Homo-oligomer: A and B are copies of this chain.
Amino acid sequence: MSLTTSQIKFLSSLGQKKFREEHGLFVVEGVKMVEEAIHQSHFPLKTIYGTSEWIGKNGFLLKDPSLEIVEIKEKELKRISNLKNPNQAFCVCEKGNKSDDKDLKINDLTLYLDRIKDPGNMGTILRIADWFGIENVILSPESVEVFNPKVVQATMGAIFRVSIFEKDFTSFFEEHSDLNFFATTMSGADVFKMKKTKDSVIIIGNESHGISKEIMDKVKEKISIPTFNKSRSESLNAAVATGIICSAFRNL
């Protein structure tokens, strides 16, 4: 039993945003990620593809009648994969309906990402949110799509656990005026020394341009990570900065 040419064409097309949007689907790859998708995903699983070796080892999966499992040959997996080194399993998930605003009740640390563009950074930031128990991450409309395969893989499974919303800053800010907003910049208060509270929203800006003027005008509190380098004004990578800021807020 083999996949047909049109099935292969369809599955590899999901590497492109256009087709993910058209079909409302995205892909998850590799043994570890597929197993997390099966056990933890809040996105409905459509079909799981696995090599005979992987299916053989994971007999338990076959017991769940709601899962559709298809055996796939190594060379077929190579053709549909977005990875350099495909690894035994591949699955297609439904993006589901976008979480709507009613679900967004915030009373703990939250991230607002303003135009993060690099898929590796986006995935790594979601992984950081997961580590620090941050339930909700809000993305500005111009951010990289979270269903991009590079984002999905870089989350190491966090995409299945963190709730992700897309919302323009002005509406979000107005609807949540009870929260404390902090804009991460190059010249704000030392995040380790300032007063912090749990019901805070940390804003992280674009890799090259930082936080947009629109947001900077609205948010009074600016925070920074102190540097210990006297000679220059280089910044930290956006994901690294997010990790450090989150750790400072969690260790209040």
Contacts and interface: CB of A to CB of B under 8 A. Distances in A.
A32 to B, nearest CB: 10
Q: Which DSSP category, helix, strand, loop or mixed, fits chain A's interface?
A: loop
Interface stretch (A5-13, A50-58, A228-236): A228-236
Interface stretch (A72-80, A96-104, A128-136): A128-136
Contacts of A128: 236-237, 240
A234 B133 contact: no
Contacts of A244: 243-244, 247
Interface string A233-252: 01111011111100110110
Total copies of the chain: 2
A229 B127 contact: no
Interface string A165-203: 000000000000000000000000000100000000000
Interface size class of A (residues with CB under 8 A): 35 or more
Contacts of A131: 225, 227-229, 234-236
Interface stretch (A20-28, A41-49, A139-147, A156-164): A156-164
Interface of A: 40, 120, 124, 127-128, 130-134, 156-158, 161, 192, 225-232, 234-237, 239-244, 247-248, 250-251
Given A157-B232, A161-B231, 10 more contacts: A127-B236, A128-B236, A131-B229, A131-B234, A131-B235, A131-B236, A132-B227, A236-B243, A240-B243, A244-B244
